Chains A and B, each alone.
Chain A
Amino acid sequence: DVKVTQSSRYLVKRTGEKVFLECVQDMDHENMFWYRQDPGLGLRLIYFSYDVKMKEKGDIPEGYSVSREKKERFSLILESASTNQTSMYLCASSLWGGPEAFFGQGTRLTVV
């Protein structure tokens, strides 16, 4: 089974902190994605990557950056966390040309 693992299920951080959300997939997928999920808004794409060291902005990249140094790992970085970044964050991966995306369990981030 494909497994996408997010390092934390729940995180509480303070305003202004630098926050790292980690995602690892074990199926050698080329594509990796970070989504943000908010009630009533569905999922919105933050950043994605089609290859190592490659990144592309999604629909809501402001306030975020990403890093992909290895094929299996994709990190989301909040340079200076703010309360409006309190949300559920979901990582996903897929094969290049593959039929579906596989999602992690999500990280619920609270910024206080």
Chain B
Amino acid sequence: AQSVTQLDSQVPVFEEAPVELRCNYSSSVSVYLFWYVQYPNQGLQLLLKYLSGSTLVKGINGFEAEFNKSQTSFHLRKPSVHISDTAEYFCAVSRPQGGSQGNLIFGKGTKLSVKP
């Protein structure tokens, strides 16, 4: 069975500091990997995705993530955060089922809090 582990439930950081949100997954088959962001009282917005190819993936708002197959990780990074990055971040993997990439298994989320 597939699973996703987000190693930190909360990450406090000062503005303009770098941040890394950690995500590990387990799967016996190849998967697609995603990071979503949820701002307060909003739905989920896709930050970035890894489907194949280059293991370094760039997304919106200056975020990037690196797929590491040997360590089964997909950590999210940003070199300099802003107050507006305060949100909850979810790592997800797709289930290898049919043609759907919306059938996702989510981690429990990491709340990023950026302080001035």
Contacts and interface: CB of A to CB of B under 8 A. Distances in A.
Interface of A: 4, 31-33, 35, 40-45, 48, 50, 90, 92-94, 96-106
A89 to B, nearest CB: 11
B61 interface: no
Interface of B: 9, 32, 34, 36, 41-46, 49, 51, 90, 92, 98-109
A100 B34 contact: yes
A49 to B, nearest CB: 10
A43 B101 contact: no
Q: Say what secondary structure dominates the interface of chain A.
A: strand
Contacts of A104: 43
Contacts of B41: 106
Contacts of B103: 31, 33, 45, 48
